[in-house]
Amino acid sequence: MNFLTEVAAFFLSVAYFFLVPLFNVFPCYNDYSFEINAAETGDTLPNAVSNINRWNMNDGLFVDPEANPDNNIFEFVEYVQFMQCTGGSADRDLFKDPFDFDTLDDYDFTSLIENCKGVLKMGAKPHLKTGSVPLKYSALARTDTTFGTNPYPPDDYDVYYDYIYAIGEALVNEFGAEEVLTWRFGVMTEYENKDWFFTADEDPENSAAAYCKLYDYTVDALQKSIGEEVFVGAHSMTVTEGLWDEKIFIEHCAKGTNYKTGETGSRLCFLSSSFYDSKPGEPTSGKTVPECIEYLRSCADEAGLKDLIFGFDEGRLYGSDNSGADDSQLLSRTVGYTYQAAYDARLYTRLMRSGGDYFSSWEYLSNNIFDGNPTVSYHVAKNVAKFKGMTEISSKIADKGLLLLSDVDCLSAIDEKDGSMLLMAYNFMDDVSYKYGTDMEFNISAPHLDGKQVNITVSRIDDSCNYFDEWVKDRETYGIGNDCFGWSPDCPVIENYTNLRDENARNIYFSLLKDKYRECSVLTPESITATVLNGTLTLTQPLAPNGVLFIEITPVQ
């Protein structure tokens, strides 16, 4: 924080200290009223939760997988992103022998094909991030880097071109060009991040040129092997400054000389970013979600690039205050507290109102994407997906509470085909110990429903459908301390060994607690029927601190 921010934060905290006692005297201190008008329409909304990302496809999860019968994330996930799935380390390089530096074409695409089959089996599509450059293609290759992958470009771009072409050809031979053209391809992860990619001299200008060349060769190889209309783009860091500016790459794609073809520009279909807050209560010092999108869009607009989609290929919360034995990082980049529900709802609201298409997630369940009890992030995502194809409608705060530092809002939309409406409201404060609930009044103008009966379904996401508050209490009961974890114990992916690794604690969890938490994590919607009179409908609902409310209004047929 800079000096002015620190001063402002100090005075806000002082005001908060003196005002809190008054809140207990005046119970309406945190009440909110929203005016929602179905006749004032905006943009069509996307499926903001359409993507998940996997750090390494060789974890085996997508080799002939089975969906979770109770909590199937593929009811809303449409794309599975495999990061750096074509190289950069021995386990990522797609060769029979990654260490045979004399043989450059002993390709073995078995693992890639099997994982793609698994994604398709789930009803989703692969999003394949090519890179990093295989070890045998860079004389200086090394893996003693932040992410354990080779940071250098290839020595011979034509050799690398042949490799990418062979990958595309193998995918077409296995799945058919028509199918593969429905997939997504990205070139590298966070291309301007020095921890991922740079030239031997570490010079920003040379590194930018090397990446643009790598992009051109990769894209042309994919176009020639799969088809000219292959969907391809690039993922930058953007939230914080990298080794060089993304604008260089974007302008190159628009009007630079293509390193492979010699023509002008290179095919570009999407631009994605990363977004991480440091931890709960400590937001990023970099760009916000809307600012990331706006920066990439403004660069594209200035370069004359149109019809791109903008998303986030990874992010949320990097770490937490509570550390495990090894690290304070959050494995899932989320916390288990109900705080995460409102954090996610606010994030998706900001994303969609900024014209973003998706925000990719790491995990949704207590074990992995196929197994475990649902987190509050899962409950939010499953309901957020219902906004897909709906049109945003006006939602304005008419009266707001007095509570400082809280962030209360409502995103509303209409299905213009059947007239149904969906509202998502949240009561957020950037504090996991936030204690103040709110009463929300929704005054809805819906002339298209005048005189009709409607079903109103309310889904309330708070501690009542979250196992994590029980887990926090049970940890105290059974003496499961922070030293029983590798990474932060605030992560909801309890069953992963990176998190809970003490064998006694794991035995307690699996034998005594997991089944109980299954019941604790059930979300039970409530439904009523009402009649819309004079084209208006008024609803009043309570909402817990850091809770999220979904209200579905559907005309009775």
**Do 88 and 188 belong together in one domain?**
yes
Cα distances (angstroms) measured from residue 203 to each of 76, 152, 237 = 42, 12, 18
Would you put residue 548 in left (φ > 0), alpha (ψ -120 to 50) or beta? beta
pLDDT in tens, 237-263: 999 999 999 999 999 999 999 999 999
Tell me the backbone φ, ψ of residue 277, rounded to 5 degrees: -85, 155
Are 197 and 151 spatial neighbours (Cβ–Cβ below 8 Å)? Answer: yes
CB distance 136 to 95 below 8 Å: yes
Residues 6 or more apart whose CB falls under 8 angstroms from that of 435 comprise 545
Q: Is residue 319 part of a domain?
A: no
pLDDT of residue 214: 99
Taking a C-beta distance cutoff of 8 angstroms, is the pair 281, 329 a contact? no
The count of structural domains within the chain is 2
- Provide the pLDDT for residue 10: 52
| Residue at 177: amino acid letter | A
How many Cβ atoms from other residues are within 10 Å of residue 376's Cβ? 33
124 Ramachandran zone, left/alpha/beta (phi>0; psi -120 to 50): beta
| Domain assignment of residue 434, yes or no | yes
Q: Which helix (H) or strand (E) holds 244?
A: none
Split at pLDDT 50, 70, 90, the class of 444 is very high
Q: Can you give the CATH number for the domain in which 453 is found?
A: 2.60.40.1180
Token pair belonging to 237: 């860091």
Return d(Cα 70, Cα 541) in angstroms, integer.
28
Q: Which pLDDT score is estimated for 403?
A: 77
Instruction: Please check whether residues 141 and 14 belong to one and the same domain.
Output: no
Residue 378 lies in a domain: no
Residue 26 pLDDT greater than 70, yes or no = no
List the Cα angle 411/413/419 in 5-degree steps: 155
DSSP helix/strand/coil, 479:
coil
Structure tokens at 312: 């986030």
> What's the pLDDT tens digit per position in 175-212?
999 999 999 999 999 999 999 999 999 999 999 999 99
**Residues 261 and 195 placed together within one structural domain of the fold:** yes
Q: Is residue 247 part of a domain?
A: no
**Does residue 25 have a pLDDT over 50?**
no
Please state, in angstroms and as integers, the Cα–Cα distance from residue 316 to each residue in 193, 195, 273, 451, 472, following that order. 18, 19, 12, 43, 22
Q: What is the pLDDT of residue 154?
A: 99
Q: CA-based diameter of the chain, in Å?
A: 79
Q: Fill in the amino acid letter for 446.
A: A
408: amino acid identity, one letter:
V
pLDDT digits (tens, 9 = 90+) for 118-140: 999 999 999 999 999 999 999 99
**Residue 14 sits in the same domain as residue 102:** no
Taking residue 545's Cβ as centre, other Cβ atoms within 10 Å add up to: 23
Assess contact for 551 and 541: CB atoms under 8 A.
yes
Per-residue pLDDT band for 20 (boundaries 50, 70, 90) equals: very low
Whether 121 and 210 map to the same domain: the answer is yes
Residue 211 has phi, psi (to 5 degrees) of -70, -45
Token digits of residue 21:
């006692």
Whether 137 is covered by a domain: the verdict is: yes
CATH label of the domain that carries residue 131? 3.20.20.80
Question: Element (H or E) spanning 499, and its range?
Answer: none
Phi, psi of 507 (to 5 degrees): -60, -40
| Residue 335 within a domain | no
Q: Whole-prediction pTM value?
A: 0.94
pLDDT band (50, 70, 90) for residue 405: confident
| Coil, helix or strand at residue 58 | helix
Higher pLDDT, 543 or 21: 543
User: What mean pLDDT is predicted for residues 64-78?
Assistant: 97
Torsion region of 280: left, alpha or beta (phi above 0 gives left; psi -120 to 50 gives alpha): beta
- Above 80 in pLDDT, residue 29? no
Q: Are 324 and 475 in contact (CB under 8 A)?
A: no
Alpha helices in 2-141 (DSSP H): 3-25, 110-121
pLDDT score recorded for residue 5 = 46
517 part of a folded domain: no
Looking at every residue in the chain, the average pLDDT score rounds to: 95
* Rounded percentage of the chain residues whose pLDDT exceeds 70: 95
pLDDT band at 11 (very low <50, low <70, confident <90, very high): low
Residue 433 CB contacts under 8 Å (≥ 6 apart), including other chains: none
Q: What angle do CA 178, 183, 185 make, to 5 degrees?
A: 125
> What's the rounded mean pLDDT across residues 74-81?
98
Do 412 and 530 lie in a common domain? yes
DSSP 341-389: HHHHHHHHHHHHHTT--EE-BS--BSSBTTBSPBPHHHHHHHHHGGGTT
Same domain, 26 and 113: no
Same domain, 417 and 537: yes
* Two structure tokens written together for 473: 């209490």
My answer on whether 28 and 177 are in the same domain is no
Name the least confident of 231-235, 399-403, 419-423, 506-510: 399-403
CA distance 193 to 236: 8
The answer as to whether 426 is a domain residue is: yes
Give residue 348's pLDDT band: very low, low, confident or very high (50, 70, 90): very high
pLDDT at 332 exceeding the cut of 80:
yes
Which residue in 351, 253, 256, 255 sits closest to 308, CA to CA?
253
User: Among 168, 296, 301, 282, which residue's Cα sits nearest to residue 223?
Assistant: 168
Query: Domain check: are 159 and 39 in the same one?
Result: no
R_g (Cα) of the chain, nearest Å: 25
User: What local confidence, expressed as pLDDT, does residue 6 receive?
Assistant: 52
Residues 191 and 100 reside in one and the same domain: yes
CB 455 within 8 A of CB 430: no
Range of the domain at 201: 78-236+252-267
In this structure, the answer to whether residues 88 and 228 fall within a common structural domain is: yes
CA distances from 10 to 2, 23, 322, 431 (A): 12, 20, 24, 16
Q: How far apart are CA 208 and CA 199, in angstroms?
A: 9
CA contacts within 13 A on the Cβ side of 488? 21
Query: What angle, 0 to 180 degrees and rounded to 10, lies between the N-to-C axes of helices 289-303 and 339-353?
Result: 20
Least Cα distance to 425 among 449, 459, 390, 455 occurs for 459
